[in-house]
């Protein structure tokens, strides 16, 4: 497909950083659209001297480095538990707040992609609460999810987080007295 990176077309060699970063970014965009109904413009890909960064709003999701012998994705230490024990994750003494995941092949990159999406999911769900709820709290309770038409606006809803945790205070699905 034009404009999309498909690793099946890249042989089995590791991709360069540009295609790898774009592939991860496109996977994040697809996941955010399917799981949270979020638009693509809330993500940003920034290229630096040492690595490329992928952010959601202003929150860093991961760093991607496919330069020379350095082929890794780094994540904040708080997300390491979202990866399987056999993932090749190591700490870099120069970067105390981040851990690096060695990427040995395109196949391995695709295998850990669901873990990277779990990082994104946690970042989205940890978005700071800006308000308690809007006037749609009964509709949200009945649907067991936020129904506000503006997905970005709904990220700031405190009640959305409560519903996502399984507690419902209003409507036909009320389960809290």
Give me the pLDDT at residue 7, please.
35
Q: Tell me what the mean pLDDT of segment 7-35 comes to.
A: 69
Average pLDDT of the residues in 82-109: 87
Indicate whether 146 pLDDT > 70.
yes
**What are the Cα distances from residue 98, in Å, to 15, 18, 79, 129?**
23, 21, 9, 25
pLDDT at 16: 59
pLDDT in the model for residue 6: 35
**Token digits for 175?**
């389960």
Query: Model confidence over 34-59: pLDDT tens digits?
Result: 888 888 888 888 988 888 899 998 89
Average pLDDT over residues 118-135: 86
Q: Contact at 8 Å (CB) between 57 and 42?
A: yes
> Is the pLDDT confidence value at 64 over 50?
yes
| Confidence band of 154 (pLDDT split at 50, 70, 90) | confident
* The two structure tokens encoding residue 10: 């890249």
Q: What phi and psi, each to the nearest 5 degrees, are found at residue 61?
A: -95, -50
pLDDT for residue 33? 86
For the chain, the structural domain boundaries read 7-125, 127-177
% the chain with pLDDT above 90: 25
């Amino acid at each position: 497909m034009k404009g999309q990176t498909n690793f099946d077309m890249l042989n089995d060699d590791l991709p360069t950083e540009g295609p790898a970063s774009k592939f991860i970014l496109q996977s994040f965009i697809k996941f955010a659209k399917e799981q949270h109904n979020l638009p693509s413009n809330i993500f940003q890909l920034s290229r630096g001297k040492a690595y490329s960064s992928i952010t959601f709003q202003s929150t860093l999701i991961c760093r991607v480095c496919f330069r020379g012998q350095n082929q890794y994705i780094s994540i904040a230490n708080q997300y390491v538990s979202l990866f399987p024990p056999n993932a090749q994750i190591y700490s870099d003494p120069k970067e105390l707040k981040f851990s690096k995941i060695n990427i040995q092949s395109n196949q391995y990159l695709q295998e850990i992609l669901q873990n990277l999406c779990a990082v994104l999911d946690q970042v989205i769900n940890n978005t700071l609460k800006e308000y308690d709820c809007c006037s749609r709290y009964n509709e949200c309770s009945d649907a067991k999810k936020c129904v506000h038409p503006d997905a970005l606006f709904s990220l700031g809803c405190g009640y959305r987080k409560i519903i996502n945790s399984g507690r419902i205070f209003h409507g036909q699905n009320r389960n809290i007295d």
